[in-house]
Structure 1
Amino acid sequence: MEENVEKPVTAAVLIIGDEILSGRTQDTNLRDISRYFGVHGVDVVEARVVPDVLEDVVAALNALRARYDYVVTTGGIGPTHDDITADCVAAAFGVPLEEHPEIIAGMIARSGYELTPARRRMARVPVGGELIRNIVAGPPGFTIGNVFTLAGVPNIMRGMLEDVGPRLKGGKITISRTVRVTGTGEGVIAAPLEAVAKAHRSMSLGSYPFNGPQGVGSNLVLRSRDPDELAIATAELIAALAEKGITQVEEVDPAS
């Protein structure tokens, strides 16, 4: 009889904008979304960066939302002509856009003067969409189906995440442990790491080499939803490294 294994809850991030692809802007949103979703029991397992081309965004969005439980888009909800994310999301869901009265009212309250056509672009939401509160600055984001559409500006995006979190239906949280090996290259580490990985196929094991003031080495990161299996695999890995004569081994804080 097969063991009843809980299916992980997954997400993808769709980063929209020519400025990311050109290298003019460095993306940090993927890191922040992955960490935030992980705390809520949702694994970000894919990310794509697409240009400001409607057909490309729609194709990527439709592919991702069909494959994963959630999709987060960042960027392209501002007032300029190349801010086309709202158009793309509406096209992907086959619905029209409409100016949301709550956004319009908020803009008028903040500005105190008549809105320009450019500012009104930021009030457009796909029909059937719900607003995502923006606690930092400017208009809100929105959600429709399993898609969350957030700002591209990092601090505004992070503020919007606070309203996304309560809407997530996550699974068991993935936890990690890190074994740091110094004074040894990956060529020696590879065999014991592979042996433990094969013995614990439901887990994720990865090697992240470094070469700096502390010398040559690798951080071996083990990730699992099962804390007991994680502890067993960590002990097995340390023992397997010792059998290979690797003695400069310590378990460290995963964040270090």
Structure 2
Amino acid sequence: MKRGSYRAKAVVLGSIDFGESDRILTFYTLEQGKITGIAKGARRSKKRFVGNLDPLTHINIGYFHSDKSELVRVEDASIIDAFSSLKTDIERLSDACYLLELTSELTREGQVLPAAYHSLVAFLKLLEAGAGPEALRFFEVKLLEQSGYLPHLTGCLSCRATFDRERLYFSSAKGGLVCRACSSGITGLIPVSPGTAALLSMAARLEPDKLGRLKPSPAFLDESERLLYDFIKFQLGKELKTRRFMAKLKNAQA
């Protein structure tokens, strides 16, 4: 990014307090991808930044990039969408925060992915409209595709055979599907039906508005969650904090 002032549409992914009055935040922009910046005096601001820099807020933001710092300096921000209804329901809030954390973890600073920005905004709106767990699965596979991490879902990695009714297996370490004949000796395999594999592969190519109209089966939701959760954890080398919280919340509600 060249030195100068910029304006962008962005979603605030996260923020931390810094010093007595400042705030460091990470936001995902349409024009420049993921950016980390500092908002001087944000915690004391009564007008310029009040509520505008909270995580899970869609904003218009003005910032300045200097060659002397890795952090941009946030100058101003105005709210496009505060996603207020997501913030009043603990389950939907945790789902939304998962999308934010996943976006932050699967993208790099300086990597401009307009499709990732559009998907994030679209799926947050789907959650706000009442979408269920299918929205999380479809967002995962879309973001994996957009960020270059999408596993192989269209045939056996080893023999390239296509699938019809045969039971398949997914290997996070191998990065995709293997057939029964090629699965011998591979550990950590996850059973997957051909229908689940086909829908995930299709979901990676469809626009969010079309995905929002799909109502997949409970079997798909079960299999796809196991597969994608295992693969994302393998790629990142860790479990996301929001996933741990979601698991605790689910257990508490059981």
> TM-score band (shorter)?
under 0.3
Greater relative contact order structure (CA < 8 Å, 6+ sep):
1
Q: Normalising by the residue count of structure 2, what TM-score does the alignment of the two structures yield?
A: 0.23
Task: Say which structure is richer in strand.
Answer: 1
